[in-house]
Amino acid sequence: MRRSLKDGNQLELESIKVGMRPMPEDGYPIVGFQDHVKGLYLTVMHSAITLAPLIARLAASEIIDRESRSELEPCRLSRF
């Protein structure tokens, strides 16, 4: 990183954080509005790199248009 930035030799590592990757019980994404918290929209998935572009487009459509996308029905939190 230091070599990539101008004056990077002055950089100091402040901290490192390790987080858990979300993994729904059944391994499939959870996407959609949450029923108990008004306005909360969830997108939880393990394979975010491969699904992120599609989920982002569908989620944005649901949030902006306030219309459910049938493609996301199998991903609803209510399946649990």
Q: Map out the domains of the chain as residue ranges.
A: 19-79
Note the pLDDT tens digit of each residue in 16-51.
888 888 888 898 889 999 988 999 999 988 766 777
Residue-wise pLDDT tens digits, 46-75: 766 777 888 999 999 999 999 999 999 999
Rounded Cα distance, 64 and 61, in Å: 5
Characterise 62 by phi-psi region: left (phi > 0), alpha (psi -120 to 50), beta (else).
alpha
